Amino acid sequence: MGDFPDIQSNLGEYVSNFVDFLDSALAGLFDFIFFISSRTINGIEGFLDFLPWWLFLILIFLLGWYFKSVWSGVLYAFFIFLVGTFGLWSEMMMTISIVLSAVIICLVIGIPLGVWMAFSKGFSTVMRPILDAMQTMPSFVYLIPAIFFFGLGNVSAIFATLIYALPPVIRLTELAIRGVDPEVVESAQSFGSSRWQMLTKVQLPQALPTIMAGVNQTTMMALAMVVIASMVGAQGLGEQVLISINRIDIALGFEAGISIVFLAIIIDRVTGGVADRFQKHRRAK
């Protein structure tokens, strides 16, 4: 017979023990992350709730107008208006706050890590397989430790989203900094720039268009996680999709689903528009 011999390894169990260990050993850290994440979400959500619905529509219109065109602005505002008519307004606000929080935290962590990787070959070598793992590991897998560390709720959702959405911004930051024209770096050096001046006055501004492409990707991936994240208790549109699956409610499922699509279109176009802005003065390269 072709049965596999009776050799067993307990990798899964080790990982489980390790997670237990982390939970107790790093309790302070997790509390800290919890605190930061929940404050960020609550802050953004509080702000969005505070906005009257029409003002939000106007804001969306202005964003679309500024970064794309008048008609884009009108279209985006119409999308948002439609979501409101589905009765999913507050869910949408929740989703936006989760996504925005996740993205902000991604940038705060990701850009410095990317810069560090660009400067240190050793660190880059260590980080690369970790980033690969973060991107390829099925996302359901790290939902479990997320619950373990942060309990059910939005913070767990953000944690899971972070793991999924962080790699692009890190990778593209590294790539962008490394890709700055060596002669430009040399010329900054030749004037006696300090390391910090070099980074802030030359390398980051030069790298910005590519970094913005990373921000765009990270945002889209964060949005892609909303449904999965709802399995660990994230509220918002993702939760509605999950509910509609459980109830086999096609109507709700479609409305919540198309709302996510609308959000995706708006966020993609606007962040893409920002990236184009930065690209503007450097056509003839």
Partner 1 sequence: MAESKVKIDQVSKIFGPKPKSVIAQVRDGKSKADILEETGHTVGVYNASMEIQEGEIFVIMGLSGSGKSTLIRCFNLLNKPTDGAIYVDGENIVDYNSSQLKKFRQEKIAMVFQHFGLFDHRTVLENIEYGLEIKNIPKEKRRQTAQENLEVVGLKGYEDKYPDELSGGMQQRVGLARALANDPDILLMDEPFSALDPLIRREMQLELLDIQERLKKTIVFITHDVNEAFKLGDRVAVMKDGKVVQVGSPEAILENPANDYISDFIKDIDRSKILQAENVMIKPNALVSLKDGLKVAIKEMEENGISSVFVVDRSRHLKGIVTIDEAITGIKEKKSLEDVLSTDVTTVSREEYVSDLIPKALESKYPLAVVNQDNKLEGFILRVHVLSGLVAEDVNESKEYHGYTN
Q: Which chain residues interact with partner 1 by CB under 8 A?
A: 181, 183-184, 186-194, 197, 201-202, 205-206, 208, 281-285
CB 99 within 8 A of CB 222: yes
Minimum gap (Å) between residue 209 Cβ and partner 1: 9
The two structure tokens encoding residue 161: 């989203």
Residue placing its CB nearer to partner 1 in the complex, 52 or 182: 182
Residue placing its CB nearer to partner 1 in the complex, 131 or 208: 208
Residue placing its CB nearer to partner 1 in the complex, 133 or 184: 184
Minimum gap (Å) between residue 191 Cβ and partner 1: 4
Residue 183, classified by CB atoms within 10 Å of its CB into exposed (0-12), middle (13-18) or buried (19+), is: exposed
Residue 124, classified by CB atoms within 10 Å of its CB into exposed (0-12), middle (13-18) or buried (19+), is: middle
Sequence-distant contacts of 268-273: CB under 8 A, at least 24 apart: 268/216, 268/219, 268/220, 269/64, 269/67, 269/68, 269/72, 269/76, 270/63, 270/64, 270/67, 270/68, 270/76, 271/212, 271/215, 271/216, 271/219, 272/216, 273/66, 273/67, 273/68
Minimum gap (Å) between residue 180 Cβ and partner 1: 10
Minimum gap (Å) between residue 174 Cβ and partner 1: 19
Minimum gap (Å) between residue 213 Cβ and partner 1: 16
User: Distance (Å, rounded) from C-alpha 31 to C-alpha 163?
Assistant: 18
Residue placing its CB nearer to partner 1 in the complex, 43 or 205: 205
User: Distance (Å, rounded) from C-alpha 242 to C-alpha 227?
Assistant: 7
Minimum gap (Å) between residue 198 Cβ and partner 1: 9
Residue placing its CB nearer to partner 1 in the complex, 52 or 281: 281
The two structure tokens encoding residue 282: 């450097």
DSSP assignments along 7-26, one per residue = ----HHHHHHHHHHHHHHHT
Minimum gap (Å) between residue 173 Cβ and partner 1: 16
Residue placing its CB nearer to partner 1 in the complex, 3 or 183: 183
Measure CA of the first residue to CA of the last residue in the chain; give whole Å: 64
Residue placing its CB nearer to partner 1 in the complex, 201 or 247: 201
CB 100 within 8 A of CB 154: no
Residue placing its CB nearer to partner 1 in the complex, 185 or 258: 185
Minimum gap (Å) between residue 200 Cβ and partner 1: 11
